[in-house]
Amino acid sequence: MKLLPWVLAGVAASPMAAQAFETRLNGFISVGAGMTLQEDQKYITDPANFNSQFVNELSIKPDTMVAIQSMSTVNDRLSATAQLTGYATSDFGVKFEWAYVNYELFNDVDLKFGRIRMPIYNYSSSLDLGYSYVWIRPPVDLYNVFLTSLEGISADYEFSLGNWYGTATGYFGETDGVDPETSSEVVFDSILGGIVQLENGSFSLRGSYSHDDDITITRQDSSQFNMPIAFSSASALYDNGSLLLNAEYTLTQFLENEDGVKLNNNEAAWYATAGYRVGSFTPHFTLSSFKQLGTSSVEYGPVSAKDYLQDVSSWTAGVRWDFDIAAALKVEYTSRTDNSEYLPSAVQQLVNPSFIQPFTDAQVISVAVDVVF
Protein backbone atom coordinates (compact mmCIF):
# COMPACT_ATOMS: atom_id res chain seq x y z
CA MET A 1 0.00 0.00 0.00
CA LYS A 2 1.34 3.43 -0.97
CA LEU A 3 1.28 5.64 2.11
CA LEU A 4 3.10 8.81 1.03
CA PRO A 5 0.11 10.64 -0.58
CA TRP A 6 -2.05 9.90 2.48
CA VAL A 7 0.68 11.22 4.79
CA LEU A 8 0.99 14.40 2.73
CA ALA A 9 -2.77 14.95 2.92
CA GLY A 10 -2.61 14.62 6.70
CA VAL A 11 0.24 17.09 6.96
CA ALA A 12 -1.60 19.58 4.75
CA ALA A 13 -4.59 19.46 7.09
CA SER A 14 -2.57 19.55 10.33
CA PRO A 15 -3.01 22.34 12.91
CA MET A 16 0.31 23.85 11.82
CA ALA A 17 -1.00 24.34 8.28
CA ALA A 18 -4.34 25.55 9.55
CA GLN A 19 -2.66 28.47 11.32
CA ALA A 20 -2.02 30.04 7.93
CA PHE A 21 -5.29 29.06 6.26
CA GLU A 22 -8.69 27.82 7.32
CA THR A 23 -8.54 24.15 6.33
CA ARG A 24 -11.33 21.60 6.37
CA LEU A 25 -10.71 17.87 6.05
CA ASN A 26 -13.50 15.52 4.97
CA GLY A 27 -13.64 11.93 3.85
CA PHE A 28 -15.87 9.11 2.76
CA ILE A 29 -15.60 5.37 2.47
CA SER A 30 -17.54 2.60 0.76
CA VAL A 31 -17.13 -1.05 1.69
CA GLY A 32 -18.96 -3.49 -0.54
CA ALA A 33 -19.24 -7.19 -1.28
CA GLY A 34 -20.86 -9.16 -4.05
CA MET A 35 -20.76 -12.00 -6.54
CA THR A 36 -22.39 -13.27 -9.70
CA LEU A 37 -24.79 -16.17 -9.39
CA GLN A 38 -23.39 -18.45 -12.10
CA GLU A 39 -19.90 -19.82 -12.61
CA ASP A 40 -19.19 -18.39 -16.08
CA GLN A 41 -20.45 -14.85 -15.37
CA LYS A 42 -18.55 -11.62 -14.76
CA TYR A 43 -19.76 -8.11 -13.96
CA ILE A 44 -17.37 -5.16 -14.39
CA THR A 45 -18.14 -2.32 -11.95
CA ASP A 46 -15.45 0.21 -12.98
CA PRO A 47 -14.98 1.13 -16.68
CA ALA A 48 -11.46 2.41 -15.90
CA ASN A 49 -10.32 -0.86 -14.35
CA PHE A 50 -11.51 -4.20 -15.74
CA ASN A 51 -9.97 -5.93 -12.70
CA SER A 52 -12.84 -4.36 -10.79
CA GLN A 53 -15.36 -7.09 -11.48
CA PHE A 54 -17.54 -9.58 -9.67
CA VAL A 55 -17.32 -13.26 -10.58
CA ASN A 56 -18.91 -16.35 -9.07
CA GLU A 57 -16.93 -15.95 -5.85
CA LEU A 58 -17.61 -13.49 -3.04
CA SER A 59 -15.33 -10.43 -3.25
CA ILE A 60 -15.14 -7.12 -1.39
CA LYS A 61 -12.75 -5.36 -3.78
CA PRO A 62 -14.88 -4.04 -6.69
CA ASP A 63 -17.06 -1.69 -4.61
CA THR A 64 -14.59 -0.79 -1.85
CA MET A 65 -12.80 2.58 -1.82
CA VAL A 66 -11.84 5.49 0.42
CA ALA A 67 -11.25 9.19 -0.24
CA ILE A 68 -9.94 12.16 1.72
CA GLN A 69 -10.67 15.71 0.62
CA SER A 70 -8.92 18.82 1.92
CA MET A 71 -10.14 22.35 1.21
CA SER A 72 -8.13 25.38 2.36
CA THR A 73 -9.59 28.88 2.28
CA VAL A 74 -6.85 31.40 1.59
CA ASN A 75 -9.11 34.47 1.68
CA ASP A 76 -12.68 35.49 0.83
CA ARG A 77 -12.15 34.73 -2.87
CA LEU A 78 -9.37 32.14 -3.11
CA SER A 79 -9.41 28.50 -2.03
CA ALA A 80 -7.65 25.24 -2.91
CA THR A 81 -9.14 21.74 -2.98
CA ALA A 82 -7.47 18.34 -3.27
CA GLN A 83 -9.01 14.88 -3.15
CA LEU A 84 -7.06 11.65 -2.80
CA THR A 85 -8.86 8.47 -3.75
CA GLY A 86 -7.83 4.86 -3.28
CA TYR A 87 -9.55 1.74 -4.59
CA ALA A 88 -9.28 -1.79 -3.23
CA THR A 89 -8.85 -3.18 -6.76
CA SER A 90 -5.67 -1.07 -7.07
CA ASP A 91 -4.39 -2.10 -3.62
CA PHE A 92 -5.38 1.38 -2.39
CA GLY A 93 -2.68 3.00 -4.50
CA VAL A 94 -4.01 6.53 -4.39
CA LYS A 95 -4.34 9.25 -7.00
CA PHE A 96 -5.47 12.87 -7.04
CA GLU A 97 -8.96 12.91 -8.50
CA TRP A 98 -9.19 16.63 -7.75
CA ALA A 99 -6.43 19.19 -7.30
CA TYR A 100 -7.53 22.69 -8.20
CA VAL A 101 -7.60 26.33 -7.16
CA ASN A 102 -10.96 28.14 -7.02
CA TYR A 103 -11.18 31.91 -7.45
CA GLU A 104 -14.39 33.88 -6.98
CA LEU A 105 -14.14 36.40 -9.81
CA PHE A 106 -17.53 37.97 -9.03
CA ASN A 107 -20.30 37.13 -6.57
CA ASP A 108 -21.89 34.82 -9.13
CA VAL A 109 -18.81 33.68 -11.12
CA ASP A 110 -16.20 31.13 -9.96
CA LEU A 111 -13.08 30.01 -11.83
CA LYS A 112 -11.29 26.70 -11.25
CA PHE A 113 -7.75 25.88 -12.40
CA GLY A 114 -6.03 22.48 -12.16
CA ARG A 115 -7.29 18.90 -12.11
CA ILE A 116 -11.08 18.90 -12.10
CA ARG A 117 -13.75 16.31 -12.71
CA MET A 118 -14.80 15.91 -16.34
CA PRO A 119 -18.46 16.88 -15.80
CA ILE A 120 -20.10 14.85 -18.55
CA TYR A 121 -22.59 12.99 -16.31
CA ASN A 122 -25.18 14.12 -13.81
CA TYR A 123 -23.25 12.43 -10.99
CA SER A 124 -19.74 13.22 -12.26
CA SER A 125 -18.88 15.49 -9.32
CA SER A 126 -20.02 12.89 -6.76
CA LEU A 127 -19.14 9.75 -8.72
CA ASP A 128 -17.04 8.23 -5.92
CA LEU A 129 -19.33 9.41 -3.11
CA GLY A 130 -21.65 6.44 -2.79
CA TYR A 131 -23.61 8.09 0.00
CA SER A 132 -24.85 10.78 -2.45
CA TYR A 133 -27.06 8.45 -4.54
CA VAL A 134 -29.53 5.65 -3.94
CA TRP A 135 -27.63 2.84 -5.73
CA ILE A 136 -24.46 1.03 -4.69
CA ARG A 137 -22.92 2.39 -7.91
CA PRO A 138 -24.41 4.49 -10.74
CA PRO A 139 -25.73 2.32 -13.60
CA VAL A 140 -22.62 1.00 -15.35
CA ASP A 141 -24.45 0.66 -18.68
CA LEU A 142 -24.34 4.46 -18.86
CA TYR A 143 -21.48 5.44 -16.52
CA ASN A 144 -18.88 3.67 -18.65
CA VAL A 145 -16.24 6.28 -19.60
CA PHE A 146 -12.79 5.27 -18.38
CA LEU A 147 -11.54 8.87 -17.98
CA THR A 148 -13.12 10.94 -15.21
CA SER A 149 -10.79 13.93 -14.65
CA LEU A 150 -9.01 16.50 -16.79
CA GLU A 151 -6.34 19.15 -16.37
CA GLY A 152 -7.69 22.54 -17.35
CA ILE A 153 -9.98 25.40 -16.41
CA SER A 154 -13.69 25.80 -15.73
CA ALA A 155 -16.00 28.73 -15.07
CA ASP A 156 -19.31 28.57 -13.16
CA TYR A 157 -21.99 31.25 -13.48
CA GLU A 158 -24.99 31.22 -11.12
CA PHE A 159 -28.25 32.80 -12.27
CA SER A 160 -32.02 32.77 -11.71
CA LEU A 161 -34.96 32.66 -14.12
CA GLY A 162 -38.19 33.31 -12.28
CA ASN A 163 -38.57 30.45 -9.80
CA TRP A 164 -35.69 28.53 -11.37
CA TYR A 165 -32.14 28.67 -10.04
CA GLY A 166 -29.38 27.68 -12.41
CA THR A 167 -25.68 27.22 -13.00
CA ALA A 168 -23.97 27.51 -16.38
CA THR A 169 -20.51 25.95 -16.63
CA GLY A 170 -17.90 26.07 -19.35
CA TYR A 171 -14.67 24.08 -19.28
CA PHE A 172 -11.56 23.38 -21.36
CA GLY A 173 -8.70 20.96 -20.78
CA GLU A 174 -6.83 17.80 -21.66
CA THR A 175 -6.54 14.26 -20.33
CA ASP A 176 -5.24 10.83 -21.30
CA GLY A 177 -5.43 7.20 -20.27
CA VAL A 178 -5.53 3.58 -21.43
CA ASP A 179 -8.81 2.18 -22.71
CA PRO A 180 -9.13 -1.13 -20.82
CA GLU A 181 -11.39 -2.58 -23.51
CA THR A 182 -8.82 -2.28 -26.34
CA SER A 183 -5.58 -1.55 -24.39
CA SER A 184 -5.13 1.54 -26.58
CA GLU A 185 -3.63 4.77 -25.26
CA VAL A 186 -6.10 7.61 -25.73
CA VAL A 187 -5.12 11.30 -25.56
CA PHE A 188 -7.69 14.10 -25.46
CA ASP A 189 -5.81 17.28 -26.45
CA SER A 190 -8.52 19.93 -26.28
CA ILE A 191 -11.81 19.07 -24.60
CA LEU A 192 -14.26 21.97 -24.76
CA GLY A 193 -17.61 21.63 -23.03
CA GLY A 194 -20.56 23.30 -21.39
CA ILE A 195 -23.27 22.45 -18.87
CA VAL A 196 -26.56 24.04 -17.84
CA GLN A 197 -28.29 22.98 -14.60
CA LEU A 198 -31.70 24.23 -13.46
CA GLU A 199 -33.50 23.64 -10.17
CA ASN A 200 -37.00 24.49 -9.02
CA GLY A 201 -37.95 23.01 -5.66
CA SER A 202 -38.05 19.23 -5.99
CA PHE A 203 -37.35 19.26 -9.73
CA SER A 204 -33.98 19.65 -11.49
CA LEU A 205 -32.79 19.47 -15.10
CA ARG A 206 -29.28 19.17 -16.53
CA GLY A 207 -27.84 19.20 -20.04
CA SER A 208 -24.23 18.99 -21.21
CA TYR A 209 -22.20 18.94 -24.40
CA SER A 210 -18.47 18.47 -24.97
CA HIS A 211 -16.29 18.16 -28.04
CA ASP A 212 -12.68 17.36 -28.95
CA ASP A 213 -11.48 17.77 -32.53
CA ASP A 214 -8.21 15.89 -32.09
CA ILE A 215 -8.22 12.68 -30.07
CA THR A 216 -5.10 10.56 -30.63
CA ILE A 217 -5.40 6.79 -30.25
CA THR A 218 -2.32 4.55 -30.17
CA ARG A 219 -2.84 0.80 -30.27
CA GLN A 220 -0.51 -1.82 -28.84
CA ASP A 221 0.98 -2.46 -32.28
CA SER A 222 2.00 1.27 -32.29
CA SER A 223 -0.47 2.13 -35.05
CA GLN A 224 -1.87 5.61 -34.45
CA PHE A 225 -4.88 7.51 -35.70
CA ASN A 226 -6.88 10.61 -34.86
CA MET A 227 -10.59 11.29 -34.65
CA PRO A 228 -12.99 13.95 -33.35
CA ILE A 229 -15.62 13.07 -30.79
CA ALA A 230 -18.73 14.75 -29.31
CA PHE A 231 -20.52 13.79 -26.10
CA SER A 232 -23.95 15.03 -25.02
CA SER A 233 -26.17 14.18 -22.07
CA ALA A 234 -29.50 15.15 -20.55
CA SER A 235 -30.98 14.28 -17.17
CA ALA A 236 -34.02 15.01 -15.03
CA LEU A 237 -34.55 14.45 -11.31
CA TYR A 238 -37.63 14.73 -9.13
CA ASP A 239 -37.17 14.25 -5.37
CA ASN A 240 -39.76 15.60 -2.93
CA GLY A 241 -38.32 13.75 0.06
CA SER A 242 -40.56 10.73 -0.48
CA LEU A 243 -40.89 10.00 -4.20
CA LEU A 244 -37.68 9.75 -6.25
CA LEU A 245 -37.71 9.77 -10.07
CA ASN A 246 -34.41 9.97 -11.92
CA ALA A 247 -33.46 9.55 -15.60
CA GLU A 248 -30.40 10.25 -17.75
CA TYR A 249 -29.52 9.86 -21.44
CA THR A 250 -26.13 10.10 -23.15
CA LEU A 251 -25.00 10.07 -26.78
CA THR A 252 -21.37 9.59 -27.84
CA GLN A 253 -20.71 10.56 -31.46
CA PHE A 254 -17.54 9.52 -33.25
CA LEU A 255 -17.26 12.07 -36.05
CA GLU A 256 -15.52 11.79 -39.41
CA ASN A 257 -11.77 12.44 -39.29
CA GLU A 258 -9.80 14.44 -41.84
CA ASP A 259 -9.82 11.40 -44.17
CA GLY A 260 -13.61 11.24 -44.11
CA VAL A 261 -13.66 8.03 -42.03
CA LYS A 262 -15.78 7.32 -38.94
CA LEU A 263 -13.61 5.07 -36.80
CA ASN A 264 -16.23 3.84 -34.35
CA ASN A 265 -19.96 3.34 -33.92
CA ASN A 266 -21.97 6.01 -32.12
CA GLU A 267 -23.14 4.94 -28.67
CA ALA A 268 -26.37 5.71 -26.82
CA ALA A 269 -27.14 4.89 -23.19
CA TRP A 270 -29.91 5.65 -20.72
CA TYR A 271 -31.34 4.72 -17.35
CA ALA A 272 -34.56 5.42 -15.45
CA THR A 273 -34.91 5.01 -11.69
CA ALA A 274 -37.92 5.12 -9.39
CA GLY A 275 -37.79 4.94 -5.60
CA TYR A 276 -39.89 5.74 -2.56
CA ARG A 277 -38.71 6.57 0.96
CA VAL A 278 -40.49 4.87 3.84
CA GLY A 279 -38.91 6.15 7.03
CA SER A 280 -35.20 5.39 6.76
CA PHE A 281 -35.68 2.85 3.94
CA THR A 282 -35.72 3.60 0.19
CA PRO A 283 -36.64 0.69 -2.10
CA HIS A 284 -35.82 1.47 -5.73
CA PHE A 285 -35.90 -0.02 -9.23
CA THR A 286 -33.77 0.89 -12.28
CA LEU A 287 -33.84 0.05 -15.98
CA SER A 288 -30.72 0.80 -18.05
CA SER A 289 -29.37 0.26 -21.55
CA PHE A 290 -26.21 0.69 -23.64
CA LYS A 291 -26.30 0.33 -27.42
CA GLN A 292 -23.99 0.97 -30.36
CA LEU A 293 -25.78 2.48 -33.34
CA GLY A 294 -23.87 1.05 -36.31
CA THR A 295 -22.56 4.28 -37.82
CA SER A 296 -18.89 3.40 -38.39
CA SER A 297 -17.46 3.36 -41.92
CA VAL A 298 -14.41 1.22 -41.03
CA GLU A 299 -13.89 -2.05 -42.91
CA TYR A 300 -11.76 -4.94 -41.63
CA GLY A 301 -11.42 -7.07 -44.74
CA PRO A 302 -14.62 -9.12 -45.02
CA VAL A 303 -16.28 -7.47 -42.00
CA SER A 304 -17.03 -3.92 -40.85
CA ALA A 305 -17.38 -2.33 -37.42
CA LYS A 306 -21.14 -2.41 -38.00
CA ASP A 307 -21.02 -6.21 -37.89
CA TYR A 308 -20.30 -6.46 -34.15
CA LEU A 309 -22.50 -4.04 -32.25
CA GLN A 310 -22.73 -3.96 -28.45
CA ASP A 311 -26.28 -4.04 -27.10
CA VAL A 312 -26.77 -4.45 -23.35
CA SER A 313 -29.76 -3.96 -21.05
CA SER A 314 -30.11 -4.36 -17.29
CA TRP A 315 -32.54 -4.04 -14.43
CA THR A 316 -31.67 -3.47 -10.78
CA ALA A 317 -33.83 -3.79 -7.68
CA GLY A 318 -32.49 -2.64 -4.36
CA VAL A 319 -33.06 -0.96 -1.03
CA ARG A 320 -31.14 1.72 0.83
CA TRP A 321 -31.28 1.93 4.63
CA ASP A 322 -30.05 5.14 6.26
CA PHE A 323 -29.28 3.46 9.56
CA ASP A 324 -27.27 6.31 11.11
CA ILE A 325 -26.21 9.90 10.53
CA ALA A 326 -24.11 10.02 7.32
CA ALA A 327 -24.20 6.22 6.97
CA ALA A 328 -26.22 3.99 4.65
CA LEU A 329 -26.49 0.25 4.04
CA LYS A 330 -27.48 -0.85 0.51
CA VAL A 331 -28.51 -4.21 -0.95
CA GLU A 332 -29.05 -4.76 -4.71
CA TYR A 333 -29.80 -7.43 -7.27
CA THR A 334 -28.89 -6.75 -10.91
CA SER A 335 -29.78 -8.81 -13.97
CA ARG A 336 -28.01 -7.95 -17.23
CA THR A 337 -28.75 -9.28 -20.72
CA ASP A 338 -26.08 -9.04 -23.41
CA ASN A 339 -27.50 -9.03 -26.94
CA SER A 340 -24.22 -7.88 -28.51
CA GLU A 341 -23.16 -9.22 -31.91
CA TYR A 342 -19.60 -10.26 -31.14
CA LEU A 343 -17.26 -11.49 -33.84
CA PRO A 344 -16.00 -15.07 -33.77
CA SER A 345 -12.82 -15.21 -31.69
CA ALA A 346 -10.62 -16.04 -34.69
CA VAL A 347 -11.87 -13.00 -36.60
CA GLN A 348 -11.60 -10.80 -33.49
CA GLN A 349 -7.92 -11.70 -33.17
CA LEU A 350 -7.35 -10.31 -36.65
CA VAL A 351 -9.43 -7.17 -36.15
CA ASN A 352 -8.21 -6.23 -32.66
CA PRO A 353 -6.29 -8.89 -30.71
CA SER A 354 -6.28 -6.69 -27.58
CA PHE A 355 -10.08 -6.52 -27.37
CA ILE A 356 -11.62 -7.54 -24.03
CA GLN A 357 -15.33 -8.36 -24.02
CA PRO A 358 -16.70 -6.00 -21.33
CA PHE A 359 -20.22 -7.41 -21.12
CA THR A 360 -21.84 -10.81 -20.63
CA ASP A 361 -25.16 -12.03 -19.32
CA ALA A 362 -24.95 -11.76 -15.54
CA GLN A 363 -26.98 -11.84 -12.36
CA VAL A 364 -25.29 -10.05 -9.44
CA ILE A 365 -26.09 -9.71 -5.77
CA SER A 366 -24.21 -7.01 -3.88
CA VAL A 367 -24.23 -5.17 -0.56
CA ALA A 368 -22.37 -2.04 0.54
CA VAL A 369 -22.00 0.40 3.41
CA ASP A 370 -21.35 4.10 2.61
CA VAL A 371 -20.09 6.43 5.33
CA VAL A 372 -19.20 10.13 5.23
CA PHE A 373 -16.83 11.47 7.89
Q: Report the pLDDT averaged over residues 85-104.
A: 92
Q: What is the C-alpha separation between 66 and 60, in angstroms, rounded?
A: 13
Instruction: Identify the pLDDT of residue 72.
Output: 94
Alpha helical stretches, state H, the chain: 4-12, 15-18, 345-351
pTM as predicted:
0.88
* Coil, helix or strand at residue 242: coil
- Specify the CATH architecture of the domain 99-372: Beta Barrel (2.40)
Instruction: Identify the pLDDT of residue 349.
Output: 55
Q: Report the pLDDT averaged over residues 328-357.
A: 74
Q: In percent, how much of the chain has pLDDT > 90?
A: 69
28-84 pLDDT tens trace: 999 999 999 999 899 988 877 777 889 999 999 999 999 999 999 999 999 999 999
Instruction: Identify the pLDDT of residue 244.
Output: 98
What does the domain layout of the chain look like in residue ranges? Answer: 99-372
Instruction: Identify the pLDDT of residue 297.
Output: 73
The overall average pLDDT reported for the chain is 88
pLDDT at 14 over 50: no
Q: Is 283 exposed, middle or buried (CB count within 10 Å of its CB: 0-12, 13-18, 19+)?
A: middle
Instruction: Identify the pLDDT of residue 360.
Output: 82
Q: What is the C-alpha separation between 173 and 152, in angstroms, rounded?
A: 4
Closest CA to 310 of 358, 277, 250, 254: 358
* Full DSSP string of 142-200: T---S--EEEEEEEEEEEEETTEEEEEEEEEEEEEEEETTTTEEEEEEEEEEEEEEEEE
- Non-local (6+) Cβ contacts of 192 within 8 A are 171, 172, 210, 211, 212
Instruction: Identify the pLDDT of residue 224.
Output: 85
Output phi, psi for 42, to 5 deg: -140, 155
Q: Report the pLDDT averaged over residues 227-244.
A: 97
Instruction: Identify the pLDDT of residue 122.
Output: 96
